[in-house]
Structure 1
Amino acid sequence: MERDDIIEYSLDAHHSEEAGKKIRRKIWLVTAILTVITAFEVAVGALVHQDNSMWWIVKLLFIGLTLLKAGYIVLVFMHLGDERKVLKYCILIPYFIFISYLIFIALTEANAVHAAWETYGG
């Protein structure tokens, strides 16, 4: 018995073929941008060693690129990029402040734990 309540989504599209091509192009562009940023992060992580004096810059670079990717994902996949600039700022600025605060707390506590291990042995 065949069900009649299942909709074939390819036949139920409410846009033209040109609009569909534009949507697919945007999806490929987003995928390419996120892939390039991730590949750059992996390459930098593989090439720079932890004993290097530049390692703290690499850490900050990773944090910055991760925040950039997260903001881009929010703009594209949650359709925030289509909104007005004020609404984007009202949503993204508190997000970045909160995430920066969490990173600050994590790094501060990590330094305190490291200092305690050096002082009292481990």
Structure 2
Amino acid sequence: MDAFGHVNHASMVTLLEEARVPVLFAEANKAGLAGFAKGMVVAKLSVDYRAPVVADGAHIRVEVSLRQLKFASLTLGYNVHNGASAADEVAVTAETVLAPYDTQTRRPRRLTDSERAFLLERLGPVETVR
């Protein structure tokens, strides 16, 4: 947290990461899709603060949705609520553009049809770009 008791920017970005990791890694792996865990990079990140998130031990809720799906990238949207309920105030909105990445070749790769289907099923509906 910062000097005012608010969750600082670096910690907020970490919270966003912690919200997407269970979906992209654990749930995808259970679905037989290990490719995300082999390499995924953040190509772009934007965070908009509407209200402070106070580090007081209270719960927060992070909703993750699929905003855009392309052949070699996906955009995730986030709503961070001050409280555990979806009815609680949205304090932060954010987006990350993620690209699957082949760590062996050190190059981006395309999403497989199975990965695209998983993302649409788990986080969709969304605008798909062909």
TM range (shorter): under 0.3
From the two aligned structures, give the one with the greater strand fraction: 2
Larger RCO of the pair (alpha carbons < 8 Å, separation 6+) = 2
TM normalised by structure 2 equals 0.26
From the two aligned structures, give the one with the greater helix fraction: 1
TM normalised by structure 1 equals 0.28
